[in-house]
Amino acid sequence: MSNDDRKQDEGYVSHNKKAAGGWGALKASTKFIIQSKSVLRSARTLLRVNQPDGFDCPGCAWPEPGKAHAFEFCENGVKAVTWETTGERVTSEFFAQHDVAELRKQSDHWLESHGRLTQPMRYDRDADRYVPIAWKDAFELIGEKLKSLASPNEAIFYTSGRTSNEAAFLWQLFGRLYGTNNFPDCSNMCHESSGIALTEAVGVGKGTVSIDDFQKADAIFVIGQNPGTNHPRMLSELQSAADRGCKIVAINPLKERGLERFAHPQRIGQMLTGRTTTLTSLYLQPIVGGDMAVMKGIMKCVLEKDAEAKRLAVVQRTTRTDVVHDASKGAIDHDFITQHTQGFDALQADIAATSWSDIEKHSGLSRSQIVAAAEIYMQSKRIIACWAMGLTQQKHAVATIQSVANLLLLGGHIGRDGAGLCPVRGHSNVQGDRTMGITEKPGPAFLAKLGEVFDFAPPVEHGFDVVESIHAMHEGKAKVFIAMGGNFAAATPDSAVTAQALERCDLTVHISTKLNRSHTIVGKDALILPCLGRTERDVQAGGDQRVTVEDSMSMVHASHGTNPPASADLLSEPAIVAGIATAALHAKARATDFNFLIADYSRIREKIEAVMPAIFKDYNARINKPGGFYLGNTARDRQWITATGKANFITHPIPDLTLPAGQLRLMTLRSHDQYNTTIYGMDDRYRGIYGTRMIIFMNTADIAAKQLRDGDVVTITSHTIEDGQQRSVAGFRIVAYDIPQGCAAGYFPEMNPLVSANSFADRSKTPLSKFIPVTVASA
């Protein structure tokens, strides 16, 4: 029986292929506005999203264009905003009706769908329920627990990417005044690999492009990224680029609708006529983990063409014949390489020693497919390379990203208008958190200046990242866990081990807007502290406040919520930090008056400027400019802050990722009704999945080889080399999909139990959510 449009007990699958965006996006957006049960408020709020006098979308970190559209939001932005402006509330009565054991059995979607948290709650272990607690008592409880620890390093301060610059700066200041660098954050699980790779290669761990570069590029390589679901506003930039003739190369194991065709919901003519834009000039589907081999193959083509052109030039000079035009002429920028780079000879030797048979084997692509990508590269004077977690969550992620950097350095595509490196960050201020000092490995210059401005000696010992935090809690080395936003229990690998780790803590605290999975995993004592959302007014002693955020391309801009708070009992994140700090810090550390700082957030920004004067000069004045201001990027200016003083070609061997017979390479991904761990709904429209998340995408040949059928329910078992343990999940339905043979994919967090906390990327320690060796068997 065909699986097409077949109704199933838990959802159904449709193979109806429609373009990304279009009427489907409008219909979905309208549905979520209606479901918010606050239609007028949600609609009014959307008109202020990403506007100069409005608030920053609480979704992704894609930047706003120089001239904002009146409707500067996408379908997923609608979901994020209506999810926050919902009329639903989680009150003390809700917790009186549901004990934690019951809440733990519910789905992630069910938990968050009940609306906004309204008052601080404390876990009552005897009743297995959360009960109300006064803010003063909650702060005192946290203060007592922190003061009782044998060492500051027994406390962990987690941060999510939705936190503002002001809150993040105060958070890291408080933690370091307390005495620790234990600041794991969501970057540890997403773009940590990018930061390490780019810092070594070009001297800065951020992207080198601006939004304007997308209108000047001749080619855009989109690698390991699905913008249609994860960064939908990026599609409008890709559409504009494609319309003017820019070549777009997609490199992704799955065929994704948002990388194939797009209909802009805000282009009336396109909507009325049904016309769509074909986005990609070339779509390559490497095997999971095969991206480095693809990069090396493209470079091999370019270097071979360049060597051939040089030989022809010598012959032509000798014979005095006319020069024959070659498509590769100028593809390698030798002047740039000589003046600005180090390691080119080693790169040439490495590429020459890499055989085409190895490239084809480890990429899963044919030589002709890679040559097609190389031809586009060689014909383009300005190239942007974009990537996301499809690259960063592999074992060899750092090496792969440095191979992407090598490819762009080869043609001088860094520090040139319309060209550059573009790691596309996820949550709205994840990049800003790092700029504010949220890192377990702070730089000595930052610590020195922080200590000078606030008159203390910050700790210099490196703290725990996410993986290390899980192990530290599990082993009893960390006893207090406080999360500024996020959903740690759902976002992290090894779900059972992470849950055990949190449960072994003396105290767990979650600063949140909505109920989530982490609230059901309680320590010996536990608190939920509800905070204001991005859309809401933040009024402090000094009046109405603005916060600031940094997007993926280093633009810092103001965000000003205008809605009344969901509850009169909510506090802002900076105010919560101030309350905890005042209760927890000893006398000397309390010399920093947190209450003074939060009375007027401009005072926080003045301190940020004092600590980082080079990039935040005139901070308070510059955020008044529509669109904000650019922090700058040394690599974009061709100033190389590296050990060699130049941009570095860094070579790595192609890893052998061969798996034992019968195993598949599983990667986790988001559905279209999802952002990070937030599940807005149970559909994945672009992939044709409706009403269920319990699926595994597989190649038809693999399904047949295992004597299974499309639609069968299976058990999936992971086989991690690092600890030799087998982890299993059951009840997943097979969906035949356009994915390379030997590969599979499924949603997170449902697949997170398969990812070992001991299985992470080399050097960055990012969990390997994009390369999980698994077997699939009939349930």
Question: How much is the pLDDT for 724?
Answer: 77
Distances (CA, A) of 468 to 151, 341, 721: 17, 35, 19
Residue type at 686? Y
SS3 at position 600: coil
Calpha distance 42→655 (Å, rounded): 49
Phi, psi angles (nearest 5°) of residue 702: -70, -35
Whether residue 111 contacts residue 560, with contact meaning beta carbons closer than 8 Å, is answered with no
For 455, the token pair is: 């008159």
For 364, the token pair is: 């899963």
Task: Quote the DSSP letter at residue 245.
Answer: T
Calpha distance 689→374 (Å, rounded): 35
- One-character DSSP codes across 96-152: HH--HHHHHHS-HHHHHHT-EE-S-EEEETTTTEEEE--HHHHHHHHHHHHHHSSSG
Calpha distance 283→304 (Å, rounded): 23
CA-only gyration radius of the chain, Å: 26
Instruction: Return averaged pLDDT per consecutive 10 residues of the chain, 779 residues in all.
Output: 42 70 64 72 73 75 68 73 90 97 96 96 98 98 97 97 94 97 94 96 96 96 90 85 95 90 59 68 97 98 91 70 50 96 98 98 98 97 96 97 98 97 86 95 97 96 97 98 96 95 98 97 98 95 96 91 95 98 83 93 98 97 92 97 97 95 96 90 91 96 97 95 86 97 97 94 95 94
DSSP H or E segment with residue 474: helix 466-474
CB atoms within 10 A of CB 26: 16
Question: Start-end ranges of CATH 3.40.228.10 in the chain?
Answer: 192-423
* Strand pairing report for 629-630 and 713-719: unpaired
Calpha distance 727→715 (Å, rounded): 10
For 388, the token pair is: 């996301």
Distances (CA, A) of 246 to 327, 328, 383, 409: 17, 18, 10, 20
Distances (CA, A) of 24 to 30, 317, 670: 10, 60, 18
Residue type at 248? I
Whether residue 191 contacts residue 199, with contact meaning beta carbons closer than 8 Å, is answered with no
The total number of residues shown for the chain amounts to 779
Whether residue 748 contacts residue 669, with contact meaning beta carbons closer than 8 Å, is answered with yes
Residue 179, sorted as left (phi over 0), alpha (psi -120 to 50) or beta, turns out to be left
Which residues have a Cβ under 8 Å from the Cβ of 261 and sit 6 or more positions away?
A: 19, 20, 276, 277, 278, 279
Whether residue 260 contacts residue 235, with contact meaning beta carbons closer than 8 Å, is answered with no
pTM for the model stands at 0.93
Question: How much is the pLDDT for 91?
Answer: 97
Question: Start-end ranges of CATH 3.40.50.740 in the chain?
Answer: 118-188+429-617
Question: In the chain, helix, strand, coil percent, each to 5?
Answer: 40, 20, 40
Decide which of 3.40.228.10, 3.40.50.10800, 3.60.21.10, 3.40.50.970 is the CATH code for 192-423. 3.40.228.10
For 189, the token pair is: 């699980």
Phi, psi angles (nearest 5°) of residue 95: -70, -30
Which residue bears the tokens 């065929």? 255
Which residues have a Cβ under 8 Å from the Cβ of 611 and sit 6 or more positions away?
A: 437, 446, 449, 450, 453
The partner residues of 681 in beta bridges, in order of sequence, read none
Phi, psi angles (nearest 5°) of residue 57: -55, 130
**What's the sign of the alpha-carbon dihedral 55, 57, 63, 64?**
negative
Whether residue 481 contacts residue 503, with contact meaning beta carbons closer than 8 Å, is answered with no
SS3 at position 87: coil
Q: Which residues of 186-204 are buried (b: 16+ CB within 10 A; e: fewer)?
A: bbbbbbbbbbbbbebbbbb
Question: How much is the pLDDT for 588?
Answer: 65
Question: Start-end ranges of CATH 2.40.40.20 in the chain?
Answer: 664-778
SS3 at position 693: coil
Looking at the structure, give the CATH architecture of the domain made up of residues 118-188+429-617: 3-Layer(aba) Sandwich (3.40)
Distances (CA, A) of 631 to 55, 447, 514, 556, 612: 20, 20, 32, 7, 11
CATH number for the region 664-778 comes to: 2.40.40.20
Question: How much is the pLDDT for 766?
Answer: 96
- One-character DSSP codes across 367-394: HHHHHHHHHHHHT-SSEEEEE-HHHHTS
Calpha distance 585→578 (Å, rounded): 10
Residue 486, sorted as left (phi over 0), alpha (psi -120 to 50) or beta, turns out to be left
Question: How much is the pLDDT for 603?
Answer: 98
Residue type at 590? R
Which residue bears the tokens 């809700």? 94
**What's the sign of the alpha-carbon dihedral 462, 468, 474, 479?**
positive
Calpha distance 167→55 (Å, rounded): 16
Q: Which of 147, 192, 125, 281 is nearest to 467 (CA)?
A: 192
Q: Which of 62, 47, 67 is nearest to 233 (CA)?
A: 62
Residue type at 670? R
SS (H, E, C) 629-642: EECCCCCCCCCCCC
